[in-house]
Structure 1
Amino acid sequence: MKNNNESIQFDLYAEAEREIISIILNSVNIQSEIISKLGTDDFYSSDTKKIYKYIFTMHIKNIEISFKNLVDYILSVEQNSEKILKEINEINNSYSGDDTYLNIVEFIFKNSMLKKLDLTLKEIQTKKMSYESAEELVSFAQQKILGLRTSLRDEKIVRIDSAIERLIDKIVSRSKTSGSLSGVTSGFRVLDENTNGFQKGDLIILAARPSMGKTAFALNLALNASVSSPALFFSLEMPEDQITQRLLSSASTVKMDIIKSGYGEEIINNFEKLVYAQKHILNSDLYIDDTPGLSLLDIQTRLRKARREKDIEICFIDYLQLITLYSADNNRSFENRQNEISKISQGLKKIARELNIPIVCLSQLSRSVEKREDKRPMMSDLRDSGAIEQDADLIMFLYRESYYNFSQLSEEEKKLYEDDTLLIISKHRNGATCDINYVFSKNNGKFAEKQKNE
């Protein structure tokens, strides 16, 4: 039995659903828009849900939707149709205009969203007794709740004239600001010139063999970006204190060993540099999450929250192969790691698109690089590559030739080339590929673009 409040609510929802069906039957120009926004499971009343299912089926079958065609269609598929046809006739006759159709659609959807949330919470409560651990239940609950649609579908089809007008407006706006970028800055002039900054919604892969400095380069990028754009750095391998030490060493150019020791004359001699670097870091807007063993769902949940609460504009993840598809306590697992990495790569791309931010994800390279005479990395070297090549908008490799032939260099050549590092842009969905020369100081993790005359 429904109480009075429930009865009143049911009547309100049922009336709204009847009204939106009357608009669909009488307003040809907007019926497709309404159908694109509402699904059959958004209807609360069993009577209107049944009618809308017929309308939805006609839409899918490309049958013109009208009162007459709906009646004919129901007669062709249902034998005992007197009750539903009487209901449709009353709904059709109640049509009073379509001025408020968007408000009605939103009202129906919000009610549907709350009803689905209630059902989801009941399902979570039911599942509570069958799960072995609290962590497993929380993971299940997160997946179910995050799977709920919280906004109406937007119409994505646009005329090219409106799209080109928006593009020209952006170009004009950028032209008024000298050197402005359309994306988040990397802090490196040549890299920004080639990418126009890291673009919203892009998945960027930064890959290298061990000891090439990919974590150090990512920290350089994160600190540079966070000066003007809030940035979040997921460190799945290295704890926060080590990340902080690296940042301070890079920003101050004081050797890591000196910072680690924390005492002695060398610290005193470099104290001014450290204080200056501290101020620089404090002026940035960088956040660090050093939780190990994060799943894709964990990252999605934490990044959504950070986007909402901290207005995060770029995300860094160190690194792809340490992400799992499911939490460690979840019994589900992939036998094929390559397939799992592919799912994770696709998931990261979806998150980037959903939150409209660039995600820079570090990745390992396979050992096949070491077996070749030419050690320059290629996209096929991406470890557990799967869909990484396809999903990524920008793929960059770090490569240091001296790492492989250092023993063959003369002492003079060692001094000249030991720190030379090449950033290889191997894939650029929205621009050209290129190589950019850097000098990498391994003692402090500082990268600098190498000038042509160096």
Structure 2
Amino acid sequence: MANKKKIKGVEPVNIATEKAILGCILKNKDVADNAIPKLTADMFYDNNHKSIFTACQKLYEEGKDIDVVTAQTQMINDRTDFPDVFNYLVELTTKAPIDITKWESYVDILMYNAKLQQIINAGSALIEIGRSAKSIDEASERVSDVFIEISDVESSDEGIQQIDKLVLKYIDNYHKALNDKNAFKGLSTGFNIFDEYTNGLLKSAVHILAARPGVGKTAFALNIVANIIQREAQKNIPLKDKSVIAFFCLEMSNDDLIHRLMSTLSNIPLRKIRKAEVSNDELFKFAEVSQLLQNNNLYLDTTASISPGEILARCQKIKIDNGGRLDLVVIDYLQLLSLNESGAGSGNMTQDVTRISRGIKMLAMKLNVPVIALSQMSRSIDSLARKDKTPKLSDLRESGAIEQDADVVFFLSYGRKADSEKGLPATINLNIEKNRHGERNAIVYNWYGSTVTFKEAPVEQQRVYDTESGEVKGKGKYRKKEESDSEDENKIDNEVKNENKENDDSLGY
């Protein structure tokens, strides 16, 4: 057997920096108040330094002054085994190479080294998992946990903070917003009315898009991607500045997704693209759109069995490859996600979805990125006994955790069928049933099935009749149904559609 090659390298340790930051904390109250909440004892390599910081941290938490005497007293009370601790503390404040004005740089160095050490420890943990795991499922789940632990390199979690500093930061950002009206807005979906109600796709927010099979969940999500691509192309934004998007689809192939994007962006019928029946006149547009798609930061992942932890790890790599940027994550769809590599769950679907839903929320917050997660609806909405066909939060499949973790929940449902004689396209209703960033409302979309395209209906058609409340939702307000409302504008198609007829032009879906 070949000898194992010993890995050589330098440990990510800087004892001088550890001494410098401890000296700053012991000498200056403002530094202590700002530095201690950012650090943990585990970030220090030297065990004596761990003990000193722990003592300072306890004093800080108890609201006591921090200096050489109080730190020594705390360490004695903690029965810390550190001979001649007083002289060492004095040395930290007098002889250590410290500059109070550079304390933030010391903290940055310490945190950077700690993160490198965490990565080294993760490598050791992966080796141990490989040697001790009793099954692939167990190994996969433990590996996902390791990646989650080291993935928050740029975590936005700053711990508990006093409100006075938070308000100052808020006012500063608000002043910027007064000069830039887009400062508080999220990523635009390209659907103006939707953006008006939700303020766009906000960072760290989870947006649940739910519908019954065949209504157009995947198509709507891909339309948002297509809108972003078109908008940035029209503005001639260079590739390095274009939005970075990760699209995870667990039930379609890469070719299927690209077929749909090509159809939506080129306005060439999807059937013709799938059957390679594009005409000579359409080939130029086809080539133009293919070039457009190549010149983008769009990532597709069609792994059939993947967990939130694995998605998080892959998204972290995308961020690293793009200079720390990731603008949108789409997951199609939530109920197909697994808790481990094999796709096996606990046997309790509700518990599994609860863990998956929480994993998606953690993913959005750790990456500080908006997430669109597609979701199935329960079959109860199709029940003949149910007269009200307007989607509700309770229609989410295994709904408890999903509606709790989500920031925005919106449903797609059938509206009017296409009327070729009158030249009217089919419509799809979008109901926003939960919205932490704005109002609940409804939007009407014209649906062009041949090119898998959604377009917001004209303002005068933005009215959806709620069969339960007797209210008409639309364009910013709820109101009671009026006699003058035309049947076409308020009719909801309540037929049960069990097959995917999304691209059947004869039905309009």
TM-score (norm 2): 0.74
Is the contact made by 1:223 and 1:286 (CA closer than 8 Å) also made in structure 2? no
C-alpha deviation, 1:207, in angstroms = 0.5
Alignment map for 1:284-433 (pairs within 5 Å): 285-310=297-322, 311-328=325-342, 333-371=345-383, 372-401=386-415, 419-433=426-440
C-alpha deviation, 1:93, in angstroms = 4.8
Structure 1 residues 147-156 or 13-22, which shifts more?
147-156
C-alpha deviation, 1:328, in angstroms = 1.9
Matched position secondary structure for 2:394:
helix
Structure 1 residues 315-324 or 348-357, which shifts more?
348-357
In the alignment, what sits opposite 1:246?
260
Is the contact made by 2:249 and 2:303 (CA closer than 8 Å) also made in structure 1? yes
C-alpha deviation, 1:105, in angstroms = 2.7
Is the contact made by 1:339 and 1:386 (CA closer than 8 Å) also made in structure 2? no
C-alpha deviation, 1:241, in angstroms = 1.2
C-alpha deviation, 1:424, in angstroms = 1.0
Q: Distance in 1 between matches of 2:154 and 2:455?
A: 44
In the alignment, what sits opposite 2:208?
205
C-alpha deviation, 1:302, in angstroms = 1.5
Alignment map for 1:159-308 (pairs within 5 Å): 159-174=166-181, 182-227=185-230, 228=232, 229-263=243-277, 267=279, 271=283, 274-275=286-287, 277-278=289-290, 281-282=293-294, 285-308=297-320
Is the contact made by 1:13 and 1:45 (CA closer than 8 Å) also made in structure 2? no
Q: Distance in 2 between matches of 1:213 and 1:445?
A: 9
Are 1:119 and 2:126 matched, yes or no? no
Percent of aligned positions that are identical? 27
Q: Hey, which of these two has a bigger chunk of helix by percent?
A: 1
Q: Distance in 1 between matches of 2:168 and 2:21?
A: 32
- Gapped runs of 5+ residues in structure 1? none
Q: Distance in 2 between matches of 1:255 and 1:428?
A: 35
C-alpha deviation, 1:286, in angstroms = 3.2
Is the contact made by 2:433 and 2:441 (CA closer than 8 Å) also made in structure 1? yes
Matched position secondary structure for 1:425:
strand
C-alpha deviation, 1:396, in angstroms = 1.2
In the alignment, what sits opposite 1:443?
450
| 2:439 partner amino acid | A
Is the contact made by 1:223 and 1:281 (CA closer than 8 Å) also made in structure 2? no
Is the contact made by 1:42 and 1:109 (CA closer than 8 Å) also made in structure 2? yes
In the superposition, relative to structure 1, how do residues 45 and 381 fare at CA in structure 2: closer, same or farther (>3 Å)? same
Q: Distance in 2 between matches of 1:109 and 1:269?
A: 59
In the superposition, relative to structure 1, how do residues 66 and 395 fare at CA in structure 2: closer, same or farther (>3 Å)? same
In the alignment, what sits opposite 1:28?
29
CA offset digits 1:271-300 (Å, max 9, x no partner): 566456545545655332212111111111
Q: Distance in 2 between matches of 1:161 and 1:249?
A: 49
CA offset digits 1:384-437 (Å, max 9, x no partner): 1232222222211101145xxx8xxxx979978882210111122111221111
Matched position secondary structure for 2:208:
strand
CA offset digits 1:353-379 (Å, max 9, x no partner): 333322111110111212321111111
Q: Distance in 1 between matches of 2:283 and 2:17?
A: 69
Is the contact made by 1:421 and 1:437 (CA closer than 8 Å) also made in structure 2? yes
| 1:353 partner amino acid | M
In the superposition, relative to structure 1, how do residues 72 and 226 fare at CA in structure 2: closer, same or farther (>3 Å)? same
Matched position secondary structure for 2:203:
coil
In the superposition, relative to structure 1, how do residues 217 and 147 fare at CA in structure 2: closer, same or farther (>3 Å)? same
In the alignment, what sits opposite 1:434?
441
In the superposition, relative to structure 1, how do residues 82 and 131 fare at CA in structure 2: closer, same or farther (>3 Å)? closer
In the superposition, relative to structure 1, how do residues 218 and 114 fare at CA in structure 2: closer, same or farther (>3 Å)? closer
In the superposition, relative to structure 1, how do residues 45 and 334 fare at CA in structure 2: closer, same or farther (>3 Å)? same
Is the contact made by 1:14 and 1:48 (CA closer than 8 Å) also made in structure 2? no
Matched position secondary structure for 1:17:
helix
Q: Distance in 1 between matches of 2:38 and 2:212?
A: 47
| 2:61 partner amino acid | I
C-alpha deviation, 1:140, in angstroms = 3.6
Matched position secondary structure for 1:126:
helix
Is the contact made by 1:47 and 1:84 (CA closer than 8 Å) also made in structure 2? no
Q: How many residues align?
A: 433
Q: Distance in 1 between matches of 2:348 and 2:84?
A: 54
Is the contact made by 2:141 and 2:339 (CA closer than 8 Å) also made in structure 1? no
In the superposition, relative to structure 1, how do residues 84 and 323 fare at CA in structure 2: closer, same or farther (>3 Å)? same
